[in-house]
Amino acid sequence: MSALNYLAINMRKIQINTPIWITKSVGIDERLIDQDIEVEILYQNLNGKRSFPGKYRMTKERALAYPSRKFGHTPMLKVIPISAFENVIK
């Protein structure tokens, strides 16, 4: 059984407007990773369909292990590949 198979109320819910396309990753503000995370990527293609449908989960410990990066005037972001998440809700 996965460590993430418990109620989502124990997770920080994060919505991402646009992924980092070149690396197929998402940037998550380090300050938001204070508990396990559930990520929803809202980006839609030209047909109005989500490129990454569903919700993706990851433990806090695993998320914090990814490298940090600053993009322009953003806060420090953890850059996490989308493929590293557990896709639990399609």
Mean pLDDT along residues 54-81: 94
pLDDT in tens, 31-51: 999 999 999 999 999 999 999
Domain that holds residue 49: 8-89
pLDDT of residue 83: 94
Terminal-residue alpha carbon distance, the chain: 19
pLDDT of residue 1: 43
Answer whether residue 35 is part of any domain. yes
Q: How many domains does the chain fold into?
A: 1
**For residue 19, is it within any domain?**
yes
In this predicted structure, the answer to whether residue 4 has a pLDDT above a threshold of 70 is no
Q: For 8-28, how does the pLDDT look when each residue is reduced to its tens digit (9 = 90+)? A: 568 999 999 999 999 999 999
Q: Is residue 23 part of a domain?
A: yes
Of 8 and 88, the one with more pLDDT = 88
In a domain, 2, yes or no: no
Q: What is the CB-side half-sphere exposure of residue 58 using CA atoms within 13 A? A: 24
For residue 3, what are the contacts with CB-CB under 8 A and spacing of at least 6? Answer: 59
